[in-house]
């Protein structure tokens, strides 16, 4: 008798920061509930899957990183499918794809789009419409409905593929496949689950019934082991958390309290992510070897100078740091390169977290992390950013991003550890479909950190294992090189402004960005102030930081010196262009006879006397002829009267100045084969500049929007329109 088998399908992910991976894992975990078996692999684990022979539906979940590049673990796969040319290569393949991206950046979802384009060019057929989720507005707006419709589509595709295989004779296979593939064109609707969806409500209610009382052990279900003893951490221990330098949150905060109608709604709460790690703490006598950051690819270099670039009451504090890289050949750089800076979590926040977990006294104990033998999590593995045998203090200082914005899966997991009923309900709301707007407002858009969330939800005592399972890697922060080593041999400059996050319901006092706040504190006593000569200021700080050069980029000045180019870099976005211009000035000195193309710089800031960064140096470039045109605008000067209308005649932002010089811009870009560079804020500026360029192309070439878009795409493709932007 034939036995009933579950249909299998394949889930492949490419993920840089773990979001695509966690969605793919979620799909694999949920598959069983839908009577399916998922085979989950990362795209770089090509020994685990074989698309050339795959006869089951394939689901891709991929993110995009940098300037539209694939994540590191999808790079080889993308190269492979780009190489393959046969239009029949994936004729047998039936796939769908979920792409994650951010519309704040150019090349939105580029990796997903590339994979989609190549799969289709190689004959693969889509069994369910691709989803393109935008982190700029909230991934869940697309991801949730896409996942909702996925299961029906996978089942249909699976059974159709099976029937094609089973029912048709050899001779008919070709026709049947055609018919099947025709039928499976997007016919699945992406519907949002309605609030009254019976099944989901039951699921929520089941969850409510299963909520355990707050656990009393440090790792949830697993007590911590110390030198063979088993020790329990009481909840009271874990809640001795107040007064650690972290501000209290009012108990009536809208972050922690819900109001009607949400408080009276039924909720569709996601499934509880299965725990998958066992964490053991071991007491050791020997002092820890590795007390600094993980050093594999990072180089420790001294800060030889720190200069305050902004002045007076400028809203943002901008600083230049000079690194002495003379003893570190691995840091040889070109203008346009950027470097990664390693920064630790703030000591008081690490202390707070350890207090909160009831583990402050065990900060020096070594952490051993292993997979739970009984875990239900598909494809579970110890996260690669968790080193073995480091101290708890090290783990929280250098490995875990405790400032990360809590994901909904984390909020869902925290529900189980909230002792207070109101807080438990609020956590359920924040991770539910119905609470999406509240999540966006109070958590995502406010950039609330995990530390701030735990402060606000004071009754939550999560185990250590939960934090290790959910917290992403503490990422190094990238900064653009702001110098040329022809001008400053053995030195590398970079510029940053100190990020100030405003107060919100979960953050009564506001806070500084992690890396920029840390760098500021590190150099504070040794800063050189403008107007003071270096010799008259305090000696240069002898501090050192860990940096590495980022993989080489294409954001470089034109290789031909005669090619004209335009640079757009307001605020700290001017940084790489200082490097471009220093390099150009040195080249001109060394080769005065050579022909150099025209250079334009569009700079903008708030006040001429506050944050006009590098003013003297830029004016010097103009005086020496290195910079042909410097166009600067000030968005706040002389605009106390808000009615002062910004326009090309009254430029306020860089894009207004671009419009003012539209003919020259068009000449360089469209008639002289010049290059166009943009650096700085991705959220507003880069988008506005892009739109302005589009306008210029439309009017100068007398073409419509579509043609202008094509022209811009062509410029990008030829690396003549380049962006180095950040959100």
- In the complex, which residues of this chain contact ligand FAD (CB under 6 A)? 338, 403, 446-447, 477-480, 494-497, 499, 501-502, 513-517, 572, 575, 724, 726-727
Minimum Å distance from CB 610 to ligand FAD? 16
* Alpha helices (runs of H) in 661-684, residue ranges in sequence order: 662-666
Q: Which CB atom, from 259 or from 509, has the smaller least distance to ligand FAD?
A: 509
Q: Find the shortest distance in angstroms from Cβ 725 to ligand FAD.
A: 8
In contact, 389 and 363? CB cutoff 8 Å? no
- What's the token pair of residue 567? 């640079």
Q: What's the per-residue H, E or C state across 329-361? A: HHHCCCCCCEEEECCCCCHHHHHHHHHHCCCHH
Q: At closest approach, how far in Å is the CB of 494 from ligand FAD?
A: 6
Strands 338-341 and 544-549: antiparallel
Cβ 494 vs Cβ 481: under 8 Å: yes
CB of 405 to ligand FAD, least distance (A): 7
Work out whether strand 500-501 and strand 511-512 pair parallel, antiparallel, or are unpaired: antiparallel
479 or 614: CB nearest ligand FAD? 479
Give the β-pairing of 477-480 and 7-14: unpaired
Measured from the CB atom, the residue of 472 and 564 that comes closer to ligand FAD is: 472
Cβ proximity to ligand FAD: between 411 and 515 the closer is 515
Q: Are 397 and 352 in contact (CB under 8 A)?
A: no
Beta strands in 79-175 (DSSP E): 94-101, 125-126, 131-134
- Least distance CB 186 / ligand FAD (angstroms): 34
Kindly report the CA angle at 39 between 194 and 78, in degrees rounded to 5?
A: 95
List the beta strands (DSSP E) in 257-298: 277-282
Cβ 557 to ligand FAD shortest distance, Å: 17
Helix (H) or strand (E) holding 165: helix 140-167
Chain centroid offset of residue 168 CA: 48
In angstroms, give the least distance from the CB of 47 to ligand FAD: 32
Q: Give dist(CA 684, CA 696) in Å, integer.
A: 18
Round to whole Å and give the CA distance between 162 and 255.
Answer: 50
Closer by beta carbon to ligand FAD, 319 or else 697: 319
Which burial class, exposed, middle or buried, applies to 229 when counting CB atoms under 10 A from its CB (0-12, 13-18, 19+)?
Answer: exposed
Question: In the bound complex, what is the minimum distance in angstroms from residue 443's beta carbon to ligand FAD?
Answer: 11
The least CB distance from residue 387 to ligand FAD, in Å, is: 22
We find the least distance from the C-beta atom of residue 513 to ligand FAD, in angstroms, to be 2
CB-nearer residue toward ligand FAD: 75 or 498: 498
List the Cα angle 275/446/344 in 5-degree steps: 65
Residue 205 beta carbon to ligand FAD: minimum distance, rounded to whole angstroms: 36
The CA-to-CA distance between both ends of the chain, in Å, stands at 60
Cβ-based nearer residue to ligand FAD, 130 or 342: 342
What is the tally of helices (H) and strands (E) in the chain?
21, 24
By C-beta, is 356 or 403 nearer to ligand FAD?
403
Identify which of 6, 8, 73 has the alpha carbon closest to the alpha carbon of residue 39: 8
Least distance CB 434 / ligand FAD (angstroms): 24
Cis peptide before 14 (omega within 30 of 0): no
Residue with Cβ nearer ligand FAD (461 or 516): 516
Check the CA dihedral 87-92-95-101 and report its sign.
negative
Closest C-alpha to 570, from 658, 473, 459, 666: 658
Exposed/middle/buried for 283, CB within 10 Å: 0-12, 13-18, 19+?
A: middle
| d(C-alpha 557, C-alpha 534), whole Å | 31
Write phi, then psi, for 60 (nearest 5 degrees): -100, 135
CB of 512 to ligand FAD, least distance (A): 7
Between 145 and 478, whose beta carbon lies closer to ligand FAD?
478
Token pair recorded at residue 330:
């691995």
| Structure token digits, residue 710 | 């094509």
Q: For residue 399, count CB atoms less than 10 angstroms from its CB and return exposed for 0-12, middle for 13-18, buried for 19 or more.
A: buried
What is the closest distance, in whole angstroms, from the C-beta atom of residue 105 to ligand FAD in the complex? 9
Nearer to ligand FAD among residue 499 and residue 563 (C-beta): 499
Q: Of the two residues 578 and 669, which places its CB atom closer to ligand FAD in the complex?
A: 578
Nearer to ligand FAD, 90 or 494 (CB): 494
| 51: helix, strand or coil | helix
* 124 versus 307: smaller Cβ distance to ligand FAD: 307
Nearest to 600 by CA among 572, 574, 638, 637: 574
* Cβ atoms of 674 and 564 closer than 8 Å: yes
> Which residue in the shown chain puts its C-beta closest to ligand FAD?
513
The nearest distance, CB 50 to ligand FAD, in angstroms, is 35
Between 119 and 319, CB nearer to ligand FAD:
319
């Amino acid at each position: 008798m034939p036995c009933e088998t579950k249909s299998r399908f394949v889930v492949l992910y490419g993920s840089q920061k773990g979001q695509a991976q966690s969605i793919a894992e979620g799909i694999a975990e949920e598959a069983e509930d839908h009577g399916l078996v998922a085979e989950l692999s990362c795209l770089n684990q090509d020994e685990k899957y074989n698309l050339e022979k795959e006869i089951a539906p394939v689901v891709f979940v991929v993110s995009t990183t940098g300037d539209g590049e694939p994540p590191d673990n999808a790079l080889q796969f993308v190269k492979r499918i780009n190489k393959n040319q046969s239009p029949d290569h994936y004729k047998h393949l039936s796939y769908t794809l979920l792409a994650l991206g951010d519309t704040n950046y150019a090349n939105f979802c580029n990796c997903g789009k590339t994979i989609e384009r190549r799969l289709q060019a190689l004959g693969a057929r889509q069994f369910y419409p691709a989803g393109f989720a935008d982190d700029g507005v909230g991934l869940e707006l697309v991801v949730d409905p896409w996942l909702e419709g996925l299961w029906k589509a996978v089942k249909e595709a699976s059974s159709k593929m099976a029937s094609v295989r089973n029912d048709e004779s050899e001779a008919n296979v070709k026709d049947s496949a055609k018919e099947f593939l025709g039928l499976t064109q997007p016919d699945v609707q992406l519907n949002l689950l309605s609030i009254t969806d019976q099944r989901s409500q039951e699921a929520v209610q089941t969850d409510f019934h299963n909520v355990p009382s707050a656990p009393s052990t440090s790792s949830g279900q697993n007590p911590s082991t110390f030198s063979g003893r088993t020790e329990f951490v009481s909840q009271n221990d874990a809640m001795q958390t107040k007064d650690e330098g972290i501000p209290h949150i009012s108990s009536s905060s809208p972050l922690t309290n819900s109001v009607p109608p949400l408080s009276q709604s039924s909720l569709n709460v996601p499934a509880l992510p299965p725990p998958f790690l066992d964490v053991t703490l071991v007491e050791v006598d020997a002092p820890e070897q590795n007390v600094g950051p993980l050093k594999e690819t990072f180089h420790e270099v001294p800060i030889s100078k720190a200069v305050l670039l902004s002045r007076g009451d400028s809203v943002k504090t901008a600083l230049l740091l000079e690194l002495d890289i003379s003893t570190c050949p691995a840091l040889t750089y070109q203008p346009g390169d950027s470097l990664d800076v390693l920064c630790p979590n703030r000591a008081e926040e690490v202390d707070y977290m350890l207090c909160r977990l009831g583990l402050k006294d065990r900060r020096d104990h070594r952490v051993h992390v292993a997979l739970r033998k009984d875990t239900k999590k598909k494809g579970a593995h110890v996260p690669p950013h968790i080193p073995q045998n480091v101290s708890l203090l090290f783990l929280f200082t250098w490995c875990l991003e405790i400032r990360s914005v809590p994901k909904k899966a984390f909020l869902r997991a925290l529900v189980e550890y909230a002792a207070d009923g109101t807080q438990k309900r609020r956590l359920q709301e924040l991770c539910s479909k119905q609470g999406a707007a509240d999540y966006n407002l109070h958590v995502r858009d406010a950039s609330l950190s995990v530390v701030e969330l735990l402060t606000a939800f004071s009754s939550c005592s999560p185990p250590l294992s939960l934090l290790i399972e959910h917290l992403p890697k503490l990422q190094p922060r990238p900064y653009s090189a702001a110098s040329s080593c022809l001008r400053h041999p053995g030195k590398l400059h970079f510029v940053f402004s100190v990020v100030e996050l405003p107060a919100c319901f979960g953050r009564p006092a506001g806070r500084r960005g992690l890396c920029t706040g840390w760098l500021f504190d590190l150099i504070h006593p040794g800063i050189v102030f403008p107007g003071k000569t270096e010799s008259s200021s305090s000696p240069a700080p002898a501090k050192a930081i860990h940096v590495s050069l980022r993989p080489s980029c294409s954001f470089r000045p034109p290789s031909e010196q005669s090619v004209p180019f335009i640079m757009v870099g307001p605020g700290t976005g001017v940084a790489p262009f200082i490097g471009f211009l220093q390099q150009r000035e040195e080249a001109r000195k060394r080769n005065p006879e050579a022909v150099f193309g025209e250079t334009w710089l569009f700079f903008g800031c708030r006040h001429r006397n506050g944050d006009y960064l590098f003013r003297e140096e830029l004016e010097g470039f103009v005086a020496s002829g290195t910079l042909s045109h410097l166009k600067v605008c000030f968005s706040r000067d002389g605009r106390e009267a808000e009615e002062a209308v910004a326009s090309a005649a009254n430029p306020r932002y860089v894009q207004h100045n671009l419009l003012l010089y539209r003919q020259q811009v068009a000449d360089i870009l469209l008639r002289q084969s010049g290059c166009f560079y943009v650096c700085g804020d991705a959220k507003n500026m880069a988008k506005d500049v892009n739109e302005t360029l589009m306008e210029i192309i439309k009017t100068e070439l007398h073409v419509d929007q579509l043609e202008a878009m094509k022209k811009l795409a062509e410029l990008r493709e030829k690396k003549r329109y380049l962006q180095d932007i950040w959100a």
